[in-house]
Structure 1
């Protein structure tokens, strides 16, 4: 079993103080672990469950429900491409195909150099400016293959 860092524990404990029921901080605990480790392993999830005071099964239920918790290693930059009907109608397929070809991976894959992971996401809430994607925490909209190339170049 791995141990969480003191910083991770302190951040989780702080989040727990913000809720009447400390177990409500489960999602925040997972986000903290992911922020520090890049993803949430089974062992890290169990350690976080112990800090929050929930069972590993309860923590797993939250981790598998919330699609922004990564349960396996991901690249340095996670690309989430919106595949909603709004983006689909304005060029999603062309952008999707270009990303897959340029990166040499399919959805769920990570480039050989560990630079990018490509994931679909059902909606980014950018429906009036699609097609859209998110790289890390940064949103990019009105995508074209050329614009995608310029965006990818911004991420080492």
Structure 2
């Protein structure tokens, strides 16, 4: 159950758009940008507010891969597994992240909500392979050792705040 502030913020987001079906995607993009995921309760709420069925809203949101119904960590790490990265050993990097963060192919977000690890087909940084991104910032020529060091740096930033 979400608290009232989520619905208040969603009302603000809806107010920036028209209350029509064609506004669904921009509204849910804004919600996901705000919360780093799309809370299912808010998708249902938006559907009612703009006059579409809940089924229609879910069919749209689930069709697009960039919408996530699961909360994401503060740092979203995308590991490229495209051809160039794969042949340059991106899988050991992914395995190191999984081991260090207690994750696997079914559990993508760390218990402390700091890290979410995803695999992607291509980051468009083939010349920098193997590459990862952290919140869309590219980190080139990674290795399992380098990725563990990067996690330590990110954790250090958290401890400073």
1:55 aligns with 2:78: no
Q: 1:111 maps to which residue?
A: 110
CA–CA separation in structure 1 for the residues paired with 2:61 and 2:12? 20
1:97-149 CA-partner distances (Å, limit 9, x unpaired): 22122222113422232221222222222222122222223232221123212
Tell me if the contact between 1:12 and 1:32 (Cα under 8 Å) persists in the aligned partners: no
CA–CA separation in structure 2 for the residues paired with 1:8 and 1:127? 38
Which of 39, 42, 46 does residue 40 from structure 2 map onto?
Answer: 42
CA–CA separation in structure 1 for the residues paired with 2:31 and 2:61? 11
Q: 2:11 maps to which residue?
A: 9
Secondary structure at the aligned position of 2:117 is classed as: strand
Task: Output the TM-score relative to the length of structure 1.
Answer: 0.79
Counterparts in 2 of 1:49 and 1:140: CA distance versus 1, 3 Å:
farther
CA-atom RMSD, angstroms? 2.5
Task: Output the TM-score relative to the length of structure 2.
Answer: 0.77
Q: 2:123 maps to which residue?
A: 124
Aligned residues: 152
